[in-house]
Amino acid sequence: MIVTAVKRSLYEDLHLKQPGMEFASEMLLRAGKKNWRYVEIPISLRPAHPSHKPHLRPLSV
């Protein structure tokens, strides 16, 4: 998994409009157009507890 972190001042300068998970793609595209440097940092996740309910809402086509 990749985590995206950005300074608030830079985030506000991007003027992102997409809701939900799409904002990450929009953020990378806009940062690239501004020639900003970014670094991806891999992290590891542990499995969720069985009682934890998923909070993501996938798109239905």
pLDDT in tens, 12-46: 888 888 877 787 888 888 888 989 887 777 878 78
Q: Cα–Cα distances in Å, from 61 out to 7, 30, 36, 47?
A: 35, 27, 34, 28
The pLDDT value given to residue 35: 92
Instruction: Please report the pLDDT score of residue 2 as a whole number.
Output: 57
Residue 61 pLDDT level (bands cut at 50, 70, 90)? low
Is residue 36 within 8 A of residue 10, CB to CB? The reply is yes
Dihedral in degrees, nearest 10, Cα atoms 45, 46, 51, 54: 20
pTM, to two decimals: 0.54
Q: What is the largest CA-CA distance in the chain?
A: 43
Look at residue 1 and tell me whether its pLDDT is greater than 60.
Answer: no
Backbone angles phi, psi at 18, to 5 degrees: -75, 140
